[in-house]
Amino acid sequence: MHTFSYKNGTLYCENTPLCDIAEAVGTPTYVYSKQTILDHFKGLQQALSPLDSEVSYAVKACSNLAILNLMAREGAGFDIVSGGELWRVVQAGGDPRRCTYAGVGKTPEEIRYALEQEIYCFNVESEAELRAIDEIAGSMGIKAPVAVRVNPNIEAGTHKYITTGKSENKFGVDFDRIEALYALIDEQMPNLEIKGLQMHIGSQLTQVKPFIEAVAKVAPLAARLKERYGIRFFSIGGGIGIVYDGALASGSPDWWEHNHQLTIDAYADSLVPLLQPLGLRILVEPGRVIVGNAGVMLTQCLYEKKGDAKTFKIVDAGMNDLIRPALYEGHHEIWPLQQHDDQDTVVADIVGPICESGDFLAQNRTVADVQQGEYLAVFSAGAYGFSMSSNYNSRPMAAEVLVDGSNWTVIRSRQSLEDLVRGEIIPE
């Protein structure tokens, strides 16, 4: 579900015409729907309510302070992957004691900072990292809460760059080595407190089957670790996929029911019965499913160029603003902010201004034949959109806006030219 729809040919987010925002703030601009974000968050919380559960929002999907603050006020936990993300959560009013910290390359400074902030748990990805945390906690005279990330070697059926639960991926510890590692912590690492078990098999999963396989494989391990070491939680990670193709239609409840996509309810209905008997606290770490379809990126058509082979619509947003098409072959629906009765469609490549052939938002796509100056919305851009943007080609980063009904707020202003060179120094 989301709240982007046409009323009399004008595209709205909730009760706000998107062209009002484009004209006031300029483009490219990310726009998020508060109602959609809250619907998704509460829906997942509700679906998992038969369990002792916690929804830990994966900060990296969309890490604007206003979004984190919204989550914090709903009582979310946070799944973080860097010291910077922890700092953001704290700035946003989130509780560090509800943060879980994942990632294969935590630095000593980051580990110390997380210990000072008394985070809920480190989700640890190797023996070497366990030893580092043990040593740092020891030097601070405290115990560090840890869970090990198990790699269950399950095929997630998603793009190879976002598959994380196979043995050849860099993530987690092989399933067969896990119990020996917990024994090692217990025997040799006095400054660690064994607190849980974690896994995360990948992102943008559109079937429930890999989740079921992974939970079915790992739950008995969690039960054994509970018995032996008294672990208190089992985190099953994030990864619930969203609808990209047909994103506009997916705003209607009927569409969801009639299309066999992975829904929050299907996910919960399959997993709750497998998890309930464990008697453990269950954490989920969703990112994309909370914010993905809650955000669009607005862009303006600058030029049209007709070549022998193709028609290009050149727009003012590039791969530095939204890298998913280039990096993951991601599909994003693209719709005009204003429909006209006499508007034709055209098969075109929607491309940005960046000097790379990989700089496209869509290829060979049937889109509205928008003319110079007209605006487009790139759908499903709320997750891994702004948060993956960069200054490549010395382009200032886009603005971000949060819509609440017919009100809207700029939650991050567009970068200035001064921002582009901040911190740079010409030697004497």
- When binding is defined by CB under 6 A, the residue of 37, 102, 121, 323 that contacts ligand PLP is 102
Identified binder of ligand PLP from the candidate list 28, 238, 251, 295, rule CB under 6 A: 238
Instruction: Output 302 or 327, the one with its CB closest to ligand PLP.
Output: 327
**Catalytic annotation present for 99:** no
Q: Does 237 bind ligand PLP (CB under 6 A)?
A: yes
Q: In sequence order, what are the residues at sequence separation of 6 or more whose Cβ sits closer than 8 angstroms to the Cβ of residue 123?
A: 100, 101, 102, 146, 147, 148, 149, 198, 235
Burial of 366 (0-12, 13-18, 19+ CB in 10 A): exposed
Check whether 424 is labelled as a binding-site residue. Answer: no
Of the candidates 19, 99, 121, 355, the residue annotated as catalytic is 355
Does 213 carry a binding-site annotation? no
CB of 163 to ligand PLP, least distance (A): 11
Total residues interacting with ligand PLP, rule: CB under 6 A: 18
Of 387, 401, 371, 294, nearest to 24 (Cα)? Answer: 401
3-state secondary structure 52-66: CEEEEEEHHHCCCHH
Nearer to ligand PLP, 33 or 235 (CB): 235
Cα distance between residue 262 and residue 252, in whole Å:
15
Please select the residue that binds ligand PLP; options are 145, 196, 286, 330, rule is CB under 6 A: 286
288 is in an annotated binding site: yes
The label of the residue with tokens 């929804």 reads 55
C-alpha 215/C-alpha 210 separation (Å) is 9
Q: Which of 82, 60, 335 is nearest to 203 (CA)?
A: 60
172 known ligand binder: no
Question: Shortest Cβ distance from residue 171 to ligand PLP (Å)?
Answer: 8
What is the chain's Cα-based Rg?
23
Considering beta carbons, is residue 59 or 319 the nearer one to ligand PLP?
A: 59
Tokens of 350: 């929607």
Q: Which residue's CB is nearer to ligand PLP, number 60 or number 365? A: 60
- 395 belongs to an annotated ligand binding site: no
Q: Is 186 helix (H, G, I), strand (E, B) or coil?
A: helix
Q: Would strands 399-404 and 53-58 be described as parallel, antiparallel, or unpaired?
A: unpaired
Among 79, 134, 321, 369, interactor with ligand PLP by CB under 6 A: 79
- 318 in a known ligand binding site: no
Residues that bind ligand PLP (CB under 6 A): 58, 60-61, 79, 81, 102, 200, 203, 237-240, 285-289, 383
Output the known binding site for substrate: 288, 324, 328, 356, 384
Binding-site residue numbers are 239, 285-288, 324, 328, 356, 384
Known binding-site residues for pyridoxal 5'-phosphate equal 239, 285-288, 384
